[in-house]
Amino acid sequence: MDLRTILAISANKTDHLILADCLDRAEPRRFRLSSSTSLERPLDTLTDPAIEAVILAAGPETDYLLRLAQKHVPSLPIILLRDSVPDSEQLRQLRDSGAQDYLVRGQLQDPMLHRLLDYSIELKQARSTISELSNRDTLTGTLNRAGFRAHLERAMQRSQRYRFKTALLYLNVDQFTNINDHYGEQNGDAVIQALSQRMLSKLRSSDSIARLGGDEFAVILEDVGTPADMARIADKMLQAIAAPYYLEGQHVAIDASIGGALYPDDASSMSELMDHARSAMLQAKTISGCRFVAYSDHLQFDMQGTSTLAAELRLAARHNQFELHYQPRMNLERGQLAGLEALLRWNHPQRGLICPGEFIAECEDMGLMKTIGYQVIQHACCALNWLGDQQMHDVVVAVNISFSQIQDDRFITAVKDILQRTGANPARLEFELTETTILKDPSAIKARMHELMQMGIRFSLDDFGTGFSQLTHLTELPISAIKVDAAFVRDLPHNPQQAAVCSLIIEMARRLEIEVIAEGVENHEQVSFLRGQNCEQVQGFYYSKAIPLQQLPRFVQEQRFKQRERISS
């Protein structure tokens, strides 16, 4: 039988001797006395999980020790050792201060002390069980919201006392309602249980996890060295979560977003730490895929989930912080530059270049894409003029056009005005549309396209084959080129299905006298296959990532050198 440790705190050594003899006579033997005449670190002593009960001699520090215990370990039984029996008022004060019972010197009897300790310890265990159940989520067994707040408060107190950092992570499952809608709530619960177990498997023993709501979790990481340590743990959790789940005979992929904040670096209070971690999570949700974002005071969200990102985007639009990088499109037959796709970047004053995945959705929601879209078209027209100055008159510049842009009543007039002011050649300007954009209002989009075509502007159909591909788009709309999505190029030439799809698209387009541009080309084998299929153009990292316009002359020179090398060999 494990011995129960009883801590005796008294400046009187006789108290320790009498208590030790009394406890040693217990049958069966079940107590072990730990003695202390003074406490140098009282909180550490009282919170020691090995201590089952405390016998505290009344003295000058009694009230302080009782308050300390009541705040940090309220379930710990504390029995006061007194010189006399307390009167009714003293007894009330004793219990209000957190003492569970009392003993009187000179009246100690073995059976009474043994029964008192047994009862106190069993009551403590019962209270701990009740508290544990009330602080646990019934579905996952993790902490619930009440348990989470209690654990976080204690973790922050330990951070202050021992001078280490505590990290708080907020996690939310993306589009979780789709799981419940398609597979039922029972399967949804199974996913939540599996997800919580995967998260637990990546945490240390000192960490704790809580389920705050249906698909929202919080993780408390104690003694975190640096922000990089927090990010590393979050990334491990995301990798575990991203593995497929097996539901009703199908593998289902789930994405999650995690935001994190550090105490005391990012916050000075519990409420502030929680707000900042949740703000970072909301920021992570604006980026597709499993993502972790650490809290930053540059881009943050308020408690309602709205963001100062919106204010920064409006400022960026006013101050023209958006710029274009250009990804080359290469003519495979000639090995020469044929076109450029203009890709938007936000040159943030603090964060540097930000790719569109982090802000485009917000711009669309705010209605900013119209304003930004006109800036992009103007930049592209200026780029055409610059290309002419560099004797690259035949290079096409392609601009992605969204539905909100092309359906704007001012779009035609604005494009005309930009062309007139810049003097750019409209025959070298190409607007890229997706089939999703066209399908939103086919007749209206068709009318707009014909108006723009009369100005000399050409069109390409982006992401061909990935959506609701309709051959009528190729026969009824003024489309000069189709872009084969990178999904059909990725495993060429080894994937026979992808090879067949690419070959069919290229042959169909050739018969319709439409150019084909293959996206996502990353290796020589893909280039060789596409060249053998008479694909006119390719773009991808095999040739170049998107680059600033000023780097283009060097790129063209390098390609000319490589072309001469290829011909001579």
> pLDDT tens digit string along 226-248?
888 999 999 999 988 988 888 87
d(CA 181, CA 507): 41
Angle among Cα 537, 543, 544 to the nearest 5 degrees reads 115
Determine contact, residues 21/2, Cβ cutoff 8 Å. Answer: no
Instruction: Tell which CATH classification among 3.20.20.450, 3.30.750.24, 3.40.50.10320, 2.60.120.260 matches the domain 310-554.
Output: 3.20.20.450
> pLDDT tens digit string along 137-146?
888 989 988 8
Whether 4-134 and 145-306 share one fold: the answer is no
Angle among Cα 394, 399, 404 to the nearest 5 degrees reads 155
Give percent of the chain above pLDDT 70: 93
Q: Which pLDDT band, with edges at 50, 70 and 90, does 515 fall under?
A: very high
Stated pTM of the model = 0.49
> pLDDT tens digit string along 380-434?
999 999 999 988 889 999 999 987 788 888 889 999 999 999 999 999 999 998 8
Is 70 exceeded by the pLDDT of residue 495? yes
Q: What is the DSSP string of 425-439?
A: -GGGEEEEEEHHHHH
Give me 444's structure tokens.
Answer: 């209206």
**Cα distances (angstroms) measured from residue 46 to each of 3, 30, 39, 222:** 18, 21, 10, 20
The ranges assigned to domains in the chain are 4-134, 145-306, 310-554
Is 50 exceeded by the pLDDT of residue 304? no
> pLDDT tens digit string along 318-360?
777 888 999 999 999 888 899 999 999 888 877 777 878 777 7
CATH assignment, 145-306? 3.30.70.270
Phi first, then psi, for residue 280 (nearest 5°) are -65, -35
Nearest to 50 by CA among 5, 87, 116, 102: 5
Q: Which fold has domain 4-134?
A: Rossmann fold (3.40.50)
Is 80 exceeded by the pLDDT of residue 175? no
Is 80 exceeded by the pLDDT of residue 197? yes
> pLDDT tens digit string along 437-472?
787 778 888 889 999 999 999 999 887 765 545 566
